[in-house]
Amino acid sequence: MRWAAALRMGVLVGAAIGLAGAGVLWLGGLRWVALAVAGLVVLVAIWRGTVAGRLRRATAYAESSDELWVRNGLLVRTVAVVPYGRLQSAVVTDGPWLRRYGLANVSITTAGMGGSSEVKGLTRMDAEALMGRLVERAKTLQWTQ
């Protein structure tokens, strides 16, 4: 619920900035351009606002005994499998926007071909717990192989 609220608030802020830009164009005498920009901003805001909940449901992760599965994307779905033994680092990140809603992302880097993955929209506590489990499993698997 927090993730969808954060996305919707981002849509509102983006729409406000876009409409302010359209207002500047309007005052500058570029009325047709201003109307086109305002219309585009409204359409994008409506679309992003309606897909916010679906975008959250399209983002998921699952832990197994040997690997982490991460699914992201609404239109283009990406499923990544991260073997714990190849894990290089797990980092919890949160910017001011995510912090406002008590959310964080976990960025995962793997060895080899520069692979990386990200688990988005977790609560800060869940993100730190996931990072701790990933690091512990990676240590265990790297030392036993």
Instruction: DSSP for 98-112, please give it.
Output: HHHTTEEEEEEEESS
Q: What is the pLDDT of residue 114?
A: 67
Over residues 6-23, the pLDDT tens digits come to 666 666 777 777 778 777
Q: What is the pLDDT of residue 7?
A: 63
Task: State the Rg of the chain over Cα.
Answer: 20
The pTM of the full predicted model, rounded to 2 decimals, is 0.68
The burial class, CB within 10 Å (0-12 / 13-18 / 19+), for 13 is exposed
Confidence check: pLDDT of 53 > 70 = no
The burial class, CB within 10 Å (0-12 / 13-18 / 19+), for 96 is exposed
Q: What is the mean pLDDT of residues 120-145?
A: 83
Question: What whole-number distance in Å separates Cα of residue 9 and Cα of residue 77?
Answer: 24
- Beta carbons of 98 and 104 less than 8 angstroms apart: yes
Strand boundaries in the chain, DSSP class E: 60-63, 67-72, 78-83, 87-93, 103-110, 116-123
Domain ranges of the chain: 2-56, 60-144
For the chain, give the number of residues. 145
Q: What is the mean pLDDT of the chain?
A: 80
Question: What whole-number distance in Å separates Cα of residue 59 and Cα of residue 77?
Answer: 9
Confidence check: pLDDT of 145 > 60 = no
Q: For the domain bounded by 60-144, which CATH number is listed? A: 2.30.29.30
